[in-house]
Structure 1
Amino acid sequence: MARLRHRQYPAAHRACPLDGRDAGRAGGGVKNGFKIGIVCASSRFAKARADQIDEWMARRHPGREVAVVFHPACFLKHGHFAGDDRARADAFVEFANDPRLDAIWFARGGYGSCRIAESVIPRLDAVARKKRYMGYSDAGSLLAGLYKAGFEHLAHGPMASDSVRRDETADGALSWLTTGRTDWIEPSLALDPRPAVAFNLTIIDQLTGTALEPDLTGHVLMLEEVAEAAYRIDRMMFHLTGQASIRRVAGIRLGRVSEVTPNDPDFGQTPEEIVRYWCLRSGIPFLGTADIGHDAANKVVPFGRR
């Protein structure tokens, strides 16, 4: 496949151009011209949404001390996906390994990152390991694989498309992407020193037993979900908590479970009651709630120790 060129933007809203300076740093504060690469590893991504993100960045960072660069493959279409598996994989690897970019931000979720994760991780180099990566929902498949591979700068948190939903949400995400610190942190992390991770329930349930499943021994596992019926949440918790690997976590926190689809007859238990039931049955401590979810209040959860 021919090497993809970076997309050009209208002068009013384009991201800072890529230059030849060293990048990929994971420490320190924001430096002038910090560049974040946006990739789409999953479902289709609308050009109109990218334009909205450009406009938001222009308002919040008019001096371009922080800028975003969309990989052109974000706008490909291949059935459900933002380009076929090879195009999405190549785009992720290209931006992750690019020393002119400082961090990687997932454009959106949907479905598809599990189809490319195993193929891209062996192709990532030392530059890629220095970068920060942020996303949630379907991006969790790649984050899980990266965490298993020893990448140290990963976080569940708002995606690029969330920037047009609420300023505070995206500002919190950008703070972590640029400095590794943010006030938009999941609050329980300030009180619990144990390593933590956060995943969509469907994603982590499907990852168990695969080559992408990381070792979560001793971790606080935070879960969230959207648009699932109560019986499906119950079935996923049965499967997840039945795994020997998951029974080694320090405990489970439950984020928001939103847009629960109707169950006929009514299931008779709330999502929290379901999770508590399976935690009790499996011997996994239920640690309470987590401030994460498929919404504009979704907080940042850095993976691992802090």
Structure 2
Amino acid sequence: MKDLSESDPKFRSSLAVVLSDPMVNNYNLFAQKGKSSAFTGYLAETSSANCTYGLYQENTKSGVMKKSAMVVNVLNKQATQPLLTFGIYADGIEALVGDAAEGEESTEATAGLSLTMMDVLLRPVEFFRGMSGLMTAVWNAPSEPVSALQGNLLLQDYSHKIHLSNGLIVDASVLGVASIDLSGKISISLWYKNSHSVITNSGALVVEGSLQIDSEELKSGIRFSTESEAFIDFQTDVDFAEMPVKMCLQMKRPPISSRNSVEKFEKSRYFKKRLTIRKKRSSSTPPVSYFINEKNSFMCTAMDPDQ
């Protein structure tokens, strides 16, 4: 709620009114039964819209994770469009590390992954259920990333004929496609009592378009294309050799590569030669490591001082 109130003035004023009531804002309701954190940052900023990411985490008092989620939204002044939400949930893990609360010792250990794309909830993926499922997951954990979600999105399919005042007809068309892949891998060591997991969000974008004169006498126009691909790695390292459990979250984006090409052509039935001019350009964006929160930074430094 605090994270949302920092970016939404209307919600901030409503929250202030609710918290002014002592029946709500008291120790009995807000006493900590665990640990949680929420953080929102920018993935990309443009003049017309911004792309934000939100990281939300809920742990027990001993530091064992209960819920963790990442939310990616595209927003402007008028609206907010959720793109992708993936979260990891766990229950009953405290009993495995000997830190279960009173009355929760018999809770069955469960862990899984929930996915939401374009505000549509997809079928969750369950990692394991019970002690036998956990041991099977430990011994059969894949060393290579396993894809949990793949899809192609048609972003734009535009075709239009423009009739000019001089009688010529201009044919304009634009086609844009995005491809996404959500994959992950995990390794658990019962001997060293630690685990390492990586969730990779990869995507590619292709936009092709043309603007040309539709005439039997003259063929003239321009074609353009843009290609780009990016990856975001969400890495989690957990050390449960001693209590409290230590956990380090890292979110990184490798360099982004993009390629642009433009082709201009002119051809007439009255000329033998055809004029074609092509220009290509490639660019790369430096890698980025995203900030999560200050406490997580201290924990990562304590787990790996050389990092």
Same fold, judged at TM 0.5 (above) = no
Per residue, is there more strand in 1 or in 2?
2
Q: What TM-score results when the alignment is normalised by the length of structure 1?
A: 0.24
Q: Which protein has the larger Cα radius of gyration, Structure 1 or Structure 2?
A: 2
Per residue, is there more helix in 1 or in 2?
1
- Higher RCO (CA < 8 A, seq sep 6+): 1
